[in-house]
Amino acid sequence: MSAEWTEKEAAHLLSRATFFPGRDEVNAAVQLGKDETVRRLVAGESLTGRMFSPEPIGRITADGKALDQEQIVDQQTYWLYRMINTQAPLIEKMTLFWHGHFTTSYQKVREMPLIVRQNELLRSHALGSFRDLVREIGKDPAMMVYLDTNNSRKGKPNENYAREAMELFTLGIGNYTEEDVKEAARALTGWSYDKKTDQVNFNAKQHDGGTKTVLGHTGPLDADGFVEVLFEQQALPRWVARKLLTWFAAAEPSDEWVSGLAAVFAKSFHIGDTLRSLFLSDAFYAPELRGSLVKSPAEYVAGIAKALELPVARGYAQALRKMGQELYLPPNVAGWRGGTAWLTTTNLLARCQFAEAAVKRLNQGHFSAKDYMLEASASPQQWVKRFGLNVGVRELGEQTSAVLANYADETFIHAAQKTNGMRGLLQLVLISPEAQMK
């Protein structure tokens, strides 16, 4: 029997597949039904009918000044602008996912246009063929510079990309040998990126055309041949399925769940089809999974900015850095650890500071809008529930609700001037334990 489809299920899906489960989006999802909601998310279609086409970076103003495409903090801000405003949120969410999977850092590449080009590559393949994405990312200029295939040639193959392609991108540790790395590196020789012409080139003279044996396959393998060998490995669909499950569904998915989703993925290696299957499954909507994953800093910041309808600011990118996530500057080739690693004392303090700063930017009119006003007879608990709903925190625990209700009762419910107390309540909702989760 299929799981029911109510506001709770719709909000759970949108908390995972988008950056903010807003009231309008959740209501639209309930009306559309589960099948159509999932179809639109995977297709990159708006749930509400609203449209969004991102302006070029130079037309976006933050803090009274246009963003500069050459400055990394401005590019970080621009990507957050897209996360906040997109009407195709699953595509943007998967672009962020792939950025942490096929990791590349500006710290080494040092060419902002190449980093942005890779970001667009990830976005264009976000929900498409994983085989195509693996094939293309190996010849992406930023990746070539980051993992040194740009300097890999016959007789002197560089092993960095060959290793990470198996360890981090497709198979996982334990599913290849050091000899596989050495042989695969030979297959990847001959490719280079020419900065002067801005072209990726293949030089047959620099390619090792000899026989190699990689993962049990022997032949004159080249880069595309190496990719084909990867996709014949049983470990590949399990590796990708587990990463998708831990990103969207459960911190520790069961082996049975991993195997089931891997079987779906292995049919076509299509990301969108795989996520459609996941989002339509009853298992995804198990009550114990709601609010069980930690929001990444990008999700936390984009969600608050969208909920409060704040203008774009460079401070968003700076806040992410303090929370432990700098877009385009992951800590290492493995990307961000995620999960509870986002909740260190320092990172939590940064979240609290961001929430405080965000709420301070709201004018008095924000709190007199209909979404923030209740009848005089409304209870403290009703005020707390309303404020939580406004910022996408739909399920507050008993202890949190009690503390916040007491605060509301003591500060503004019985007061003539309510704004300061309402501002304080909103801030407390945003720094609550439940607001850190999705």
The pLDDT score that the predictor gives to residue 150 is: 94
d(CA 210, CA 167): 24
> Residue 213: pLDDT band by 50, 70, 90 thresholds?
very high
Distance of CA 36 to the CA centre of its chain: 22
In tens, the pLDDT along 109-127 reads 999 999 999 999 999 999 9
Asked if residue 61 has pLDDT above 80, the reply is yes
Q: Please provide residue 302's backbone torsions phi and psi, each rounded to the nearest 5 degrees.
A: -60, -40
- Which residue type does 202 have? F
| Of the candidates 51, 44, 168, 146, the residue with the CA atom closest to the CA atom of residue 100 | 168
d(CA 74, CA 58): 10
Percentages helix, strand, coil for the chain, rounded to the nearest 5? 60, 5, 35
The pLDDT score that the predictor gives to residue 3 is: 75
In tens, the pLDDT along 257-315 reads 999 999 999 999 999 999 999 999 999 999 999 999 999 999 999 999 999 999 999 99
DSSP string, 212-280: EEETTEEE---HHHHHHHHTT-THHHHHHHHHHHHHHT-SS--HHHHHHHHHHHHHH-BHHHHHHHHHH
The pLDDT score that the predictor gives to residue 294 is: 98
> What average pLDDT does this structure show over 237-253?
98
In tens, the pLDDT along 46-59 reads 999 999 999 999 99
> Residue 2: pLDDT band by 50, 70, 90 thresholds?
low
Query: Residue 155: left (phi > 0), alpha (psi -120 to 50), or beta?
Result: left
Q: How many CA atoms lie within 13 A of 152 on its CB side?
A: 31
- pLDDT > 90: what percent of the chain? 99
> Residue 432: pLDDT band by 50, 70, 90 thresholds?
very high
Of the chain, the end-to-end C-alpha distance in Å amounts to 26
For residue 179 the two structure tokens come to 């000899």
Cβ–Cβ under 8 Å, residues 85 and 128 = no
Query: Residue 3: left (phi > 0), alpha (psi -120 to 50), or beta?
Result: beta
What is the pLDDT of the chain when averaged over all its residues?
Answer: 97
The pLDDT score that the predictor gives to residue 125 is: 98
> What average pLDDT does this structure show over 406-421?
97
d(CA 404, CA 412): 12
Asked if residue 16 has pLDDT above 50, the reply is yes
Q: What is the pTM of this model?
A: 0.97
Q: Please provide residue 202's backbone torsions phi and psi, each rounded to the nearest 5 degrees.
A: -115, 120
d(CA 309, CA 360): 13
> What average pLDDT does this structure show over 29-51?
98
The two beta strands, 61-62 and 217-219, are unpaired
Q: How many CA atoms lie within 13 A of 168 on its CB side?
A: 19
> What average pLDDT does this structure show over 188-197?
97
The pLDDT score that the predictor gives to residue 1 is: 45
H-state helical runs in 102-230: 106-109, 112-124, 130-137, 141-146, 160-164, 178-187, 223-230
DSSP string, 291-345: T-SBPPHHHHHHHHHHHTTPPP-THHHHHHHHHT--TT--SSTT----GGGGGSH
- pLDDT > 70: what percent of the chain? 100
In tens, the pLDDT along 84-107 reads 999 999 999 999 999 999 999 999
Asked if residue 68 has pLDDT above 70, the reply is yes
Asked if residue 392 has pLDDT above 90, the reply is yes
d(CA 349, CA 303): 18
> What average pLDDT does this structure show over 413-417?
96
Asked if residue 140 has pLDDT above 80, the reply is yes
- In sequence order, the 6+-apart residues with CB closer than 8 A to the CB of 171 are 230, 233, 235, 236, 239
Cβ–Cβ under 8 Å, residues 325 and 348 = no
